[in-house]
Amino acid sequence: MAAQSQTAWTTTHLRGFNIYSSTSTTDTANDSNWSLKTPSSLDTSKPWSLLISASAQQDGAAAPIIVWGGYTDDFALAGTAGRATATDGVQLGQLADDIGYGAAVAGVNFNMTPGSSGLANIVTIAAVATGMRFNVPIFPYYGFELHSGDGGVLAAHTLTWKIVQEDDGQNDSIAGSDIGGDGTTGVGPDPS
């Protein structure tokens, strides 16, 4: 029996950014490895970065990454035999033809631009040095899938999905030597 598991998205705040993290793990009997839907707190109308890393070899051939869009709160990806299927969602496009299937991957970054940036998508592993870019249609939720590119099954691995997005409304505290502080408080003494 094919086994796959995902961890719930977690959120950390760092210097005015939200960083969302989740993992998906698959065994050697699956054709695809997919994420849970993105958190509802992701502002899908603003640019964000998607970072993907892999714990080990994913496949014996190039393994494409696909982005899905969800249009209700019930959006979910499912399935392990063949391509993923979606409840209340649609496939939006291929993010990349591969992320480096033959070994562990430290990380690949995709610049996700809502709507259209006016620039063409860059979706081939050969272009990774210039930066991967995808004009993603605006949806309430997204999901991501890596699927076997050779028609076989995937190798056992864990994918780590990270989303980084600026949070203009976040009010991080002032600390250390910010604004003339003395190293313990963020604001220096009243000069009057």
- Predicted confidence (pLDDT) per residue in 103-139, tens digit: 888 888 888 888 865 555 555 555 555 556 677 889 9
pLDDT value of position 23: 97
pLDDT value of position 13: 94
Location of structure tokens 């014996």: 60
Q: Where residue 1 falls among pLDDT bands split at 50, 70, 90? A: very low
**Range from 48-62, 70-84, 102-116, 130-144 that averages highest in pLDDT:** 70-84
Retrieve residue 124's tokens: 């081939």
pLDDT of residue 186 exceeding 60, the answer is no
> Does residue 191 lie within any of the structural domains?
no
Residues 49 and 61 sit within 8 Å (Cβ to Cβ): no
Residues 110 and 163 sit within 8 Å (Cβ to Cβ): no
> Does residue 185 lie within any of the structural domains?
no
> Does residue 192 lie within any of the structural domains?
no
Q: Where residue 68 falls among pLDDT bands split at 50, 70, 90? A: very high
Domain count for the chain, please give it.
1
Task: Select the more confidently predicted residue: 54 or 169.
Answer: 54
Q: What is the mean pLDDT of the chain?
A: 82
> Does residue 117 lie within any of the structural domains?
yes
Candidates 116, 164, 158, 182; CA nearest to 20 is 164
pLDDT of residue 184 exceeding 90, the answer is no
E-assigned strands of the chain? Answer: 4-6, 10-14, 17-26, 32-34, 48-54, 65-70, 76-78, 85-87, 89-96, 105-114, 132-136, 141-147, 157-166
Q: Where residue 163 falls among pLDDT bands split at 50, 70, 90? A: very high
Domain that holds residue 59: 4-166
pLDDT value of position 71: 97
Location of structure tokens 């970054």: 109
Q: How far is the C-alpha of 27 from the C-alpha of 58, rounded, in Å?
A: 10
> Does residue 172 lie within any of the structural domains?
no
> Does residue 30 lie within any of the structural domains?
yes
Q: Where residue 41 falls among pLDDT bands split at 50, 70, 90? A: very high
